[in-house]
Structure 1
Amino acid sequence: MLDDHRMTLGASELRARATEQGAELAALAGRASLVSGGPRRLLVWSERWRATVLSTPPTRPPADPELLSGMTAFREIASRADAARMEGRPVPALEREQRRLERQIRSRTLHMRGEAPGGGDRFDVGRLLERLGDEVRLVELAVLDGRVQVLLCGQGRVRRFEAGLLADAETEAEHVQAGLRRLAHPGAEGRLAVVEAAGRRLEELLLGPAAAHLGGGPVVIVPPGRLHRVPWALLPSLRERVLSVSPSAGSWLRARETAPPPDGRHVLVRGPGLATGGAEVPELAGRYACATVLEEDEARVPRVLDELDGAALAHIAAHGTFRADSPLFSSLRMSDGPIVVHDFERLARSPYRIILSCCDTALLASVGADELLGLVTALLPLGTAGVVACSAPVNDAAVVPLMLALHKGLGAGLSLAEALRDARAALPGDALHQATGWAFSAFGAA
C-alpha cells in the first residue's frame, strides 16, 4: 500500500519523504531477518526502503509556462544576488525574492502526480550475485538498533559481519570532513596524520572484520544515507582499490545494465568564478577533438542542458552549492545563474558519464527512511551510469592534475572507478594532493 501511494507522487522529494511511513516496518523486518532469516533476507529488507527514489525516473515537469518563467526569474535573481555578494553590497531584498521564487517553483513541482502505480523494480539477490561474479565485492551497510551490520556480497553468497555503532561512525566522519577542509589549504600538512588515523578508526567502525574478507578485486560500497559523506578512499583497506559508491545495490545493478548512448558525444562546461578558471577544460578540449566546449557566455543554462541531454561524457567545472534546507535547489553556477536539480530532472536522458570537478557536488540530504536527495541522485535514475563528484571543499589548483589524470584513464578505456584509482596514485604525495584525491568518489558502475 505504501508503494502504491508513493508512486502516485510525481515529485522525487515527496516520494523520498513518503518512505518515512515505512521506516518502522522495514526496521521490524530487519530485526526479524537478523534473528532467523539469514544474511540474504537481511539484504533484501535493507534494500526494501533504501534509495527507492532511484528505482524509477521522476515525473518530468510539464511544459508549464508559469513554471518555466519562474525558473528563469529565479536564475536571474540568484545571479544578481551572487554578484552583489562579491561586490559587498547588501542582498536582503534579493534573497527574499529568491526564496519567494523557490517556494513558487517547489509548490508547482510538489503538485505533480506520478505516472505509474507500483514500486519500481524489485530487488533480486540472485541477479546481483550473478553480476558481481567472483571478483567484485559489494558491501552493503545496514543499521539495526544503532549498530552497523556489514553485508558482504560476492562469490555467489552473502555474508554478515557486525561492525561498530553508527553514532560513533558519524562522529568520526565529521572529524574526517573537518580534517579534509583544513588540508584543502596549503600549510596544513601536520593534519595529514590525524586524518589518516581517523580513516583507520572509521574502517574499524564501518567494516569491522569484513575488511579482511574483501579479496583483491573491485569493491562497491553501499552506505546508509547518514554516512554518505564518508570519503571511502581514505579507509586503509580501500585506498588502493578500484572503488565505487552506490546509494543502493539495486541502483548499482541498474547502472551496470545501462547502455551508453550510440553517438558518443562529449561535452565540456566551464562556469564563471573558478580560482583556476577551470584550467583543465582547455587541455581536455585538445584531447577530445570533437567535444562541445561551453564557456563564458555560451555556458548558459538552456544551452548547457540542451548539450548535456543524451551525451556520453560530460565534464562540468563550475562552483557547486549544496542546499541542506532545500536539496533540489542544490546548484552549479553557470554564466546566467545556477543550474539546479529541478533542471536536471527535465532532461530526457542525463549524460551516461558525468564528472563534476568542484566542491560539495556529492553532498546529499538524507530524508525519509533511507533516501538521498541531491545532484548525484538526480542523475542516476535518468540514464547516468557513473558520476565522479566531491564530498568536501577542495583546492581548485590541486583538482586540475587529478582531473587530467582521470581523463587519461578514461581515454585508455578504463571505467570511472578504475580511472579515479589510477589518478589518485598519479598525484604528488603531499598532503594537499592526497586530500584532494580522497575527497572525490566514483558513483554508479560505468
Structure 2
Amino acid sequence: GARMDGRPVPTLEREQRRLEREIRSRTLHIRGESPGDGDRFDVGRLLERLGDARLVEIAVLDGRVQVLLCGGGRVRRFVGGPVAAAEREAEHVQAGLRRLAHPGAQARLPVVEASGRRLEELLLGEAAARLGSGPVVVVPPARLHQVPWALLPSLRQRVLSVSPSASSWLRARETEPTPGGRRVLVRGPGLATGGAEVPEVAGRYGRPTVLEHEDARASRVLEELDGAALAHIAAHGTFRADSPMFSSLRMADGPLIVHDFERLARSPYRIILSSCDTARLASVGADELLGLVAALLPLGTAGVVASSAPVNDEAVVALMLALHKGVSAGLSLAEALRDARAALPGDAPHQATGWAFTAFGAA
C-alpha cells in the first residue's frame, strides 16, 4: 500500500528485489527436472504429435528471417526478409492497433491490413503458401514479439496459437485436461467495463464459481483456481518479461502474484485473461505473455488467451462472449478464438480487438 499512497519505499523495493533473486535462483534449480530439457530435442515426436498441424519456428540469422516449417512428416527451411524491416512493420502495426482501439479510426483499418500483408512477406516468405489446411503454431523469436500473428492473411482464418518454443508446445499438448471441469470466473477492481462479460459468461456454464467485489481477494482466488479446468480473469495485470513469475493480477485486496501458483496442487488447465483496456493504454508485449505461459506450463496450465495490445473495452466484451460460446461447446482456445474473431462485427475496434488477442500454448 505504501507505493500506492505515493510514499517512497526504497527499502521495501530493495527487499522485494532480493527475494525475487532468491526465488528465481531456486526456481531455475527446480525446473531442471522437466522432461526433454537438456536432452536433444526429439523432432520425430514433434512431427508425430503435430498431425495435420504445422509448427512455424521463426529465427534470425545474419539479419534475415529464417522460417523452419515443421509438419507433414518433415522440416523445411524458407528465407524471409530483413528482420529490421519486419521489426519496423510490427511497430507500425502496434501503433495502428492502438489507434483502432478508439472509435472513429475506421479509415486506418485498410492501412493496418496492408501492414499485415507486408509482415507476411517478410516473416513467412514462401512458407505462407505451404501451411496446409490444419492448425498453425507459431514460435517467434523475442525480437518479433510485437507481431499480431492473426493479422497475417494466411493465418487470419486459421486455428492459430503461439508458443514459447517447440518443446513447450509439446509439453502443453501432452498435459492432460483437468478432471471435474470446474470453471472459475474472477472480476478484479477498477476495470473500465467493470468486467461486464463475467455475469453473461457465467450463464454458459451452469454453476461456475464467480468471485467479485470483496470475494475477489488474492488468497480466496488462488484457493478456487487450484485444479480448475477453466479460469476467466478480468483484472488489471502487470506483466514482466524479466521475471514472468512476478507478473501479477490486481485483486480486491492487492496483487495476486503468478509465483503463488507454484503453491497450487495444479494450476488451471486453461486461463483467459480478458483485460488490457484502452483506459490504461499500457501495452503488454507478447514476450511478457510468452514468459508467463512458459512459467505456467510446468504447473499444469496448457493454454492461455490474452491480449498483447491495448484493446477497445466494449469490443472485448463481445469477443469474450463469442470465445466462451466456442469453449463451452468443447472447442480448444485457439479454435474458439478463430470462430470468435469471425463472429465479430466488421468495424475497426472489433476487428483490431480480434487481432490483439492470442491463444498461447496448446489447449
The answer for the alignment partner of 2:45 in structure 1 is 127
Partner of 1:311: 228
For residue 67 of structure 2, give the secondary structure of its aligned residue in structure 1. strand
Q: Give the partner amino acid of 1:105.
A: L
Alpha-carbon distance in structure 2 between the residues aligned to 1:373 and 1:402: 21
**1:102 aligned onto 2:16:** yes
Q: Which residue of 2 aligns with 1:187?
A: 104
Residue-by-residue CA offset, 1:127-153 (whole Å, 9 max, x unaligned): 1111112x2111111222221111111
**Counterparts in 2 of 1:373 and 1:232: CA distance versus 1, 3 Å:** closer
Query: Which residue identity is paired with 1:131?
Result: R
Task: For structure 1, list consecutive stretches of 5 or more residues without a partner in the other structure.
Answer: 1-75, 85-90, 367-371
Q: Distance in 2 between matches of 1:400 and 1:355?
A: 13
In structure 2, C-alpha distance between the alignment counterparts of 1:108 and 1:142, rounded to whole Å: 32
Does 2:149 match 1:232?
yes
Greater Cα offset, 374-383 or 191-200: 374-383
Q: Offset of 1:103 from its aligned partner? A: 1.8
Change (3 A) 1:351 1:118: closer
The secondary structure found in structure 2 opposite 1:306 is helix
CA distance in 2, matches of 1:247, 1:112: 21
Q: How do residues 272-283 of structure 1 correspond to structure 2 at under 5 angstroms? A: 272-283=189-200
Question: How far apart, in 2, do the equivalents of 1:376 and 1:116 lie?
Answer: 14
2-structure distance, mates of 1:195, 1:299: 38
Secondary structure of the structure 1 residue equivalent to 2:8: helix
Instruction: Tell me if the contact between 1:184 and 1:395 (Cα under 8 Å) persists in the aligned partners.
Output: yes
Q: What does 1:270-309 correspond to in 2, within 5 Å?
A: 270-309=187-226
1:49-99 Cα distance to aligned partner (Å, 9 max, x none): xxxxxxxxxxxxxxxxxxxxxxxxxxx445xx0xx5xxxxxx1425x4652
* Aligned 1:220-259 pairs, distance under 5 A: 220-259=137-176
Q: Alpha carbons of 1:426 and 1:274: their partners in 2 closer, same or farther (altered >3 Å)?
A: same
Assess, with a 3 A threshold, how the Cα gap between structure 1 residues 119 and 167 changes in structure 2: closer, same or farther. Answer: farther
Give, in angstroms, the shift of residue 315 of structure 1: 0.3
TM-score of the two chains, using structure 2 as the length reference: 0.91
Q: Give the number of the structure whose residues are more often helix, by fraction.
A: 1
Rate the CA distance shift 1:409–1:336 in 2: closer, same or farther, 3 A.
Answer: same
Deviation at 1:209, TM superposition (A): 0.7
Task: Quickly say closer, same or farther: Cα 1:205–1:111, change in 2 above 3 A.
Answer: closer
Alignment-mate amino acid for residue 8 of structure 2: A
Quickly say closer, same or farther: Cα 1:159–1:416, change in 2 above 3 A.
same
Ranges in structure 2 where 5+ consecutive residues have no aligned partner: 277-281
Structure 2: how far apart are the matches of 1:161 and 1:254?
A: 26
2:279 corresponds to which residue? none
- 1:219 correspondence with 2:136: yes
In the TM superposition, what are the counterparts of 1:26-105 in structure 2 within 5 Å?
Answer: 76-77=1-2, 81=4, 84=5, 91-93=6-8, 96=10, 99-105=13-19
Aligned to 2:343: 426
Q: Residue 323 of structure 1: CA displacement? A: 3.9
Structure whose CA Rg is larger: 1
Secondary structure in 2 matching 1:112: helix
Partner of 1:5: none
Please identify, of 318-327 and 166-175, the stretch whose mean Cα deviation from structure 2 is larger: 318-327
Please provide the CA RMSD for this pair.
2.1
Query: Conserved in 2, the CA contact under 8 Å of 1:363 and 1:374?
Result: no
Structure 2 CA distance for partners of 1:232 and 1:297, relative to 1, 3 Å: same
Give the 5 Å matches for 1:387-402.
Answer: 387-402=304-319
2:82 counterpart residue number: 165
Provide the C-alpha distance between the structure 1 equivalents of 2:341 and 2:168, rounded to a whole number of angstroms. 25
- Give the share of equivalent positions with the same residue, in percent: 75
